[in-house]
Amino acid sequence: MSEGGQRVMEVDDFEAVRGCPWPDFWQGQGNLDAVAAIEAARTGHRAHFIGSANTAKGNPRVWDVKVSPILSADGTVESILSVSRDVTALKAFEKEQSLLRHELSHRIKNILAIVQSVANQTLKNNDEMKVAKPALLARLAALGRAHDILMQSAHDTTTIRAVVETASREQPTGRIVAEGPEITMSAKSGLALALALHELSTNALKYGALSNESGQVAISWQVVPDDEGDQLEFIWVESNGPAVVPPDRKGFGSQMIERALSAYVRGRAKLDYRPTGLVFRLTAPVVAFKEG
């Protein structure tokens, strides 16, 4: 073993390892590959493999190994040379990049599924393009704002507070009050909640508490213990707005809020058209909000 090899393998005393079978340094598949590489070199062939082997001090490393035969003047194998390059950092980087690609692919698939649903339902419920087009663009813009939140995180998660604050930012200042604990949620749940809040806000601006000068919206969420696991209660309450009249039929917004959102988080969502103001309540398992 060269001085450089002893240094990278953290060998302080070469006498402690002199005479040890070289393949024994390798673990798992690396050991099998090392044995095969020696056999190949004995027959005059070069071999290459990547394997894991701890240093003499027990630190894990990944090595890129080339094993070559050294031939004598008569062409027979005189000795065998092994050159190992430490690629631990490179393999860690490749693993990280693979995880990031998987996360990006997963996130894009979720977004596209939601976009497809939004487009289909919007165009289905609005026969005239002059009505459907602005509605669709507004919903896609809401998804874009929600996605901006996710991009600020190093992980595929966000928080309920971040989604609520982003949705409230587009509404009249001081008219929406939000309160609740810090709870993380997956990107899929975050996008679904953002779209539901967009529908609630749009409805409030057109017909509800935000359509006059005195109406308000109170948003709150809390974790409630339950025999089947902690439940999250999310509530939207409108007050001081015009008298509420239940709609004759449920459009995309209502369906998105009551059906799609509840399906995404495996919960129960309900719109209550009280005369004093619209109330929306969502109850779902906390763990469901964190599922990707």
pLDDT, position 113: 66
What is the distance between the alpha carbons of residues 238 and 110, in angstroms, rounded to a whole number?
31
Q: How confident is the model at residue 292 (pLDDT cuts 50, 70, 90)?
A: low
Amino acid letter, 224? V
The predicted-structure confidence for 249-269, as pLDDT tens digits, reads as follows 776 667 777 877 888 788 999
Average pLDDT over residues 18-27: 87
Say yes or no to pLDDT of 154 above 50.
Answer: no
The two tokens of residue 143 are 């998804």
What domains sit in the chain, N to C, each tagged with a CATH number?
Answer: 3-86 (3.30.450.20), 91-290 (3.30.565.10)
pLDDT, position 285: 93
Neighbours of 84 (CB within 10 A): 18
Query: Can you say how many angstroms the Cα of residue 126 is from the centroid of all Cα atoms in its chain?
Result: 33
For residues 110 and 19, which has the higher predicted lDDT (pLDDT)? Answer: 19
The predicted-structure confidence for 182-241, as pLDDT tens digits, reads as follows 999 887 788 788 888 888 988 898 889 999 989 999 999 999 998 888 999 999 999 999
The predicted-structure confidence for 86-96, as pLDDT tens digits, reads as follows 999 998 888 88
Amino acid letter, 184? T
Query: Can you say how many angstroms the Cα of residue 61 is from the centroid of all Cα atoms in its chain?
Result: 29
Q: How confident is the model at residue 160 (pLDDT cuts 50, 70, 90)?
A: very high
- Its pTM stands at 0.54
- Across the chain, what does the average pLDDT equal? 84
**Residues, the chain, total?**
292
What is the distance between the alpha carbons of residues 37 and 247, in angstroms, rounded to a whole number?
76
The two tokens of residue 178 are 């939000």
